[in-house]
Structure 1
């Protein structure tokens, strides 16, 4: 029985941070992400979102590269340039789109003749048109094993729980430290005091942002995404606006700067 071909770079989802799969930075991270494959239920596809149209898709704080889904075909729409398959797996309903090959024989050889009521596996990238999400297929094949859809659901849930809770018998990735501090603050607590000495004059929130940026492995090249910063420092009384103001103040003071885009930050050192 096919298992969908793995899910993340470095062979395991258990090694990933909540910020991004692979722990890589910059272009390396994006390259790994584009070649990784994560199994998702259709409900998870529906739940995934983009911060903006050019942003990576994310699910529960983790970036998503390629996805593999499986479901019953409940509708097939044939268009001039593409086929649109509507899939259902008991958790939701999602469309998968595949584009026609120029040669009709090549098209039939590569994609086969998918019919309503078949169970198929689709691998591809998530896209959105208007408010409708769909999977842009790079591969489609019929599922011949009646148990594959159940295996896929368990695999998708296992990956999600592992990203959220960490390895079995290991500390949860999102585990809170005493005092309701985030995992990122807990990770940085072992940082030498000298590393933060030059920032003692800053307001508390700005110091915490610096601490989070220094604690992340991505800070060396690609910078740390603003979503990671916000999740790490957000607590009662800390709003999105106050985090944004603190980031602006740190940039104006030359303490931090943006890297690959306006959403990734790095400490000026």
Structure 2
């Protein structure tokens, strides 16, 4: 699917298309580096699966963006790194997904980044396929992203899953596709296999599954997660460590407050 041609722009003409999981949540500004890197704020918004083409064609109103009339908050995309420029404070990636020209994506380097984060940065080099989560911004007419998560794609089933998600959500917005169609579409991919790409430990994967399969609109609460964890001889502290990891990686996000979570693929 990424070998020859990839996604064609003609597949998503007319306002640039649109791919949205959830229309709830407020906007997020880009007035300062502190805002861009504030993870608690980042996790509180809804998540869109998109292509670069959708981002560069999104409608803009002030600091906010819409795709097919739906507000754009957090976004996630998959593409190949074509260039990397690193400074003492940030890394600028150019990422290409074959739907438009490469997009500039900036990832700030935080002073408290540990060795794990450093190892991850070293893996994100030219030619590597990565998943990026972050916020869309515009400066002097040029679209870019501020990333709060970027990680190599280790299982190429993730690309298929992402593109199916993009197609489904586009149809859900423009054609009014319902829940049964979503089940049929997502059923084409083995869900368990699609999660294994994330390279999670068994504990991380188990907690992620609890979050993913929670039917509540507001997501699963920290209290419920802790209760489930106690049955597995896990402490609340261990659960919070996993939650922070999953949030920073863009696998989950907080909803009504900092103690309720949903999976971005849910």
TM-score (norm 1): 0.49
The structure whose RCO (Cα within 8 Å, separation 6+) is larger is 2
TM-score (norm 2): 0.49
